[in-house]
Structure 1
Amino acid sequence: MNLAPGVIAIAHRVKPGLEVAFEEATRGVILAASTFPGYIGSDVLYPTTKRGQWQLILRFDTPEHLREWEESPICQGWIARAEALTIDRPRVMRVNCLEAWFALPEIPIAPPPPKWKTAIVSAVGLYPVISFMPGFLRPITSALPVWLANLVNISIMMPLMTWVVMPQVTRLFKGWLYPSK
């Protein structure tokens, strides 16, 4: 069995006036997916404008578990329900964990940047976080065993990287990561 996670990002443009129904359908998809083996989480990226795209990101522990979900009648039913609420067919991307850091809602169907570029930009975002966060947290973690202090640091750093630092760094380097044709 593959040890890499299975991650899928699905972008939809919702028909005007059906946003509430689509949001309910999205919650239903997440609830249904959460009952499947290997489900590890999801995110919804809301559109920045009324005509923008909604993005649903589903994560499973392996690509095999993701495939089981995608091929299930339950998933197919939710897809049909969601598609009835959208303007066009969804755009679907399969990404690895680091590629998810480089997803920009304003560029929903772009192929991921080359790995060497993602490594450089990841280092740019990660360096200040790993340099300053442990010192900043030291008053809280100094009395803890080393393994627990590291766990606290990582538990704060990873969400910070995922939802704060990398979206900003990716936007900063957008022109280099996603050059115009």
Structure 2
Amino acid sequence: MPQNKQPINLAPGVIAIARRVKPGLEAAFEEATRGVTLAASTFPGYLGSDVLYPATKQGEWQIILRFDTPEHLQEWEESPICQGWIARADALTIDKPRITRINSLEAWFALPEIPNAAPPPKWKTAIVSAVGIYPVISLMPNLLRAITGGLPFWLANLVNISIMMPLMTWVIMPQVTRLFKGWLYPSK
């Protein structure tokens, strides 16, 4: 007789935390963000993190933490270690943090200049993602062929992806999102 098993949750757990730093405490806050990401990296299911720096000194800092499941994210959030980092960040920032739980690729579409915006519809994020991804996947393998030409296929793909994903996350998608900002986040 089959046993009842809990379904496996394949969705990632992603949280984006936006904060405004007290003037003069930017360096201390940046050090704290490094501490948060280092501490989170020791927890089960940690996949990575990003820090989006503000466009101006008065702007919001955004920290994005990714875990393999919402349950692992919850374990991190409820841990005494996380609570300690929250207390430290509270002392360095103005007001309460703005916390957003993110599903799928929504992290690519967070713009510091549009705080508290609801994520764009998935169909729009799919189109804008394709606009950003298409040139990268079309050009990168050819540009890297001098490096990857003699490698086995799987290793050449790994090198390509290892370069493409950071490029997409930190260079391409922030620019493409800003380019399509009016369409993704229409004024009410």
Q: Normalised by the shorter chain, which TM-score bucket? A: over 0.9
Correspondence 1:170 to 2:177? yes
Correspondence 1:144 to 2:170? no
TM-score by length of 2: 0.90
Q: For residues 92 and 104 of structure 1, what CA distance do their matches in structure 2 show?
A: 14
Q: For residues 63 and 117 of structure 2, what CA distance do their matches in structure 1 show?
A: 16
TM-score by length of 1: 0.94
1:39 shift after superposition: 1.4
Q: Which residue of 2 aligns with 1:12?
A: 19
- Alignment gaps of 5+ in structure 1: none
- Alignment gaps of 5+ in structure 2: 1-7
1:139 shift after superposition: 2.0
Q: Select the residue among 84, 92, 98 that pairs with 2:91.
A: 84
Q: For residues 14 and 29 of structure 2, what CA distance do their matches in structure 1 show?
A: 21
Correspondence 1:160 to 2:167? yes
Correspondence 1:2 to 2:9? yes
Q: Which runs of 4+ in 1 moved over 3 A?
A: none
SS in 2 for 1:28: helix
The percent identity for this pair of structures is: 85
SS in 1 for 2:47: strand
1:24 shift after superposition: 2.6
CA RMSD of the aligned region, Å? 1.4
Correspondence 1:104 to 2:111? yes
Q: For residues 156 and 18 of structure 1, what CA distance do their matches in structure 2 show?
A: 33
Q: Select the residue among 64, 68, 81 that pairs with 2:75.
A: 68
Aligned length: 181
SS in 1 for 2:21: coil
Q: Which residue of 1 aligns with 2:5?
A: none
Counterpart amino acid of 1:173?
A: F
